[in-house]
A = this chain, B = another copy of it.
């Protein structure tokens, strides 16, 4: 079943292009700024044993925030170590703190160690194993990036301690973590070290889940943290979206490592269901209550929760599924997230982040009920540099820094190109300015595999493919065209970049008779800044589309004729008044970068 392996980001260097710029901003601005805010908010200093400031409830996630930041920094060092000596120094300092903080028995958690009266591994919804998992991921990443094993030793020692308590002595109050993460982290430990015990631990946590009665928060039921049924019996994506996806990642890892077919079937079902609960921007988890999945096609725009971490975790799951099946739907979802929810979650200056990612901002949602002092619960409309629970910023950092992970998979016969990013490795050179431009050129470099596969994105209704200058007339199969190639082949793919309108499944009541504009994989939106009051505007489902250079990003604004509606009665028969009005669309990922402004992705049809 393990049909493909990942071509990891560090084996491929990104060359000029869209993502190279993003990675530079990420390394030069975002990652240092996240460190700065973490330092200010005691996330680093709370690792000092003598540090005294009291910690609040959400501070029990602190170690995971710091570990994810370390992981992000490790990826930067892995590809550009020479350019970031200061960053490496910082990492080594933080790692030293983790090492110093670790108990002799291996336990490590700055929050619980600060409260010696709190028993360890006692309340399942606490995030001890989640934090442990992130330390393991960081440890693997830093070891692979630098060859330094200090953090890996810490992680291994902690893993051994966890193994002793959960698998051997079984003297913990629960058997599976309330927040998944350690499962996929243990597989990373297994992949990196080859030690069977980590695989066994991952399998233990996966197999126990849903087979024993365990606790969760009182306001939620057992679907919240996915322990209603054994994992192989899961049929729909339920509960806390990030927890769910981290679990599915572990499940996909187990399917890959152990060839567990039931697990693969469950993963496929869960993917199918999650796609029905996904925003057009790739966001998932529409309900802020519990940061949860709801029912299929329940995708409210203005109160969309759509956590940045959730979208990222969906990418992580899809990446794992691509190792099991060459199915373009996984890569399509990855692309949808990459160019929309993921990109949008960071401000264009690289400093601030969205936790929630609304698809509509309408100021009057906040003020509609002016007699009530209490304001309604809505997502934040501006990005922030740090949050009380600041899981998203370093998650975004690590994902952008390792975006190269998503480009290729390979097996002995072929390399598969999933994402169109200008890059080069020892087998291939990809040239493109996608998603700005429409052309992707792939050149083989002593390519010896015989076959090469390229994804034709589902959004693209007109793709032209040529091999060594000769037009290829092949229908994609499961989203890919597979070609027999020689060692120096040149493949040219042209994807029609004419903007197009998309609609949502009719069962999505929020979006009936509304359209969103896409150009390639990039979803667009209307901002008040460009269009004035958005409330009376309507789209006409046709072009022509005029591309206008934008100073916000390399992607153009798109101008298209729509309508501005008005009526002189609350209720009327026949048609209301309408006048033509040019609507200016801007890429979704650029919204909220010019001050507060109403915004909408889904525009009602005229």
- Footprint of B on A, CB under 8 Å? 218-221, 223-224, 238-240, 275-276, 278, 280, 287, 289-290, 292-295, 297-298, 362, 364, 367-374, 459, 461, 500-509, 512-514, 535-536, 538, 565-567, 569-573, 576, 604-605
Contact = CB atoms under 8 A, between A and B. Distances in A.
Contacts of A370: 221, 223, 238, 294-295
B571 A502 contact: yes
Contact of A513 (B218, B293, B569, B604): B604
Given A238-B370, A280-B571, A289-B374, 9 more contacts: A221-B372, A292-B371, A292-B372, A294-B369, A298-B364, A502-B573, A503-B567, A503-B573, A506-B567
9 contacts: A219-B373, A220-B373, A238-B371, A280-B571, A295-B367, A362-B509, A505-B572, A506-B538, A512-B514
Nearest to A577: B506
A567 B507 CA distance: 9
Contacts of A371: 220-221, 223-224, 238-240, 290, 292-293
A295 B571 contact: no
A329 to B, nearest CB: 10
A507 B275 CA distance: 32
B287 A565 contact: no
Contacts of A504: 570-571
A489 to B, nearest CB: 32
A87 B570 CA distance: 43
A558 to B, nearest CB: 16
B506 A570 contact: no
B292 A505 contact: no
Contact of A219 (B374, B505, B506, B567): B374
A503 B369 contact: no
Nearest to A501: B573
Given A370-B238, A371-B238, A604-B512, A502 B295 contact: no
A549 B259 CA distance: 63
A69 B376 CA distance: 37
Contacts of A374: 219, 289
A223 B501 CA distance: 43
B287 A368 contact: yes
A275 B364 contact: no
A503 B572 contact: yes
Nearest to A298: B368
A220 B374 CA distance: 8
Nearest to A461: B573
B297 A570 contact: yes
Nearest to A372: B289
Contacts of A572: 502-503, 505
Contacts of A218: 373
A18 to B, nearest CB: 22
B369 A570 contact: no
Contacts of A219: 372-374
A317 to B, nearest CB: 17
A352 to B, nearest CB: 28
Nearest to A224: B371
B290 A372 contact: yes
A460 to B, nearest CB: 10
Contacts of A576: 503, 505-506
Nearest to A569: B505
A386 to B, nearest CB: 28
A244 to B, nearest CB: 10
A148 to B, nearest CB: 41
Contacts of A565: 506
Contacts of A536: 506-507
A538 B503 CA distance: 15
Given A295-B364, A513-B513, A605-B513, A567 B505 contact: yes
A115 B459 CA distance: 71
Nearest to A218: B373
B367 A566 contact: no
A606 to B, nearest CB: 9
A508 B570 CA distance: 9
Contacts of A571: 280, 502-505
> Which has the most chain B C-beta neighbours within 10 Å: A459, A570, A572?
A570
Nearest to A568: B505
> Which has the most chain B C-beta neighbours within 10 Å: A240, A297, A370, A513?
A370
Nearest to A515: B573
A570 B272 CA distance: 10
Nearest to A576: B506
Contacts of A509: 362, 535, 604
A239 to B, nearest CB: 5
A294 to B, nearest CB: 4
Contacts of A295: 364, 367-368, 370
Contacts of A461: 573
A376 B223 CA distance: 18
A566 to B, nearest CB: 7
Nearest to A512: B604
A505 B278 contact: no
Contacts of A280: 571
B221 A373 contact: yes
Contacts of A294: 368-370
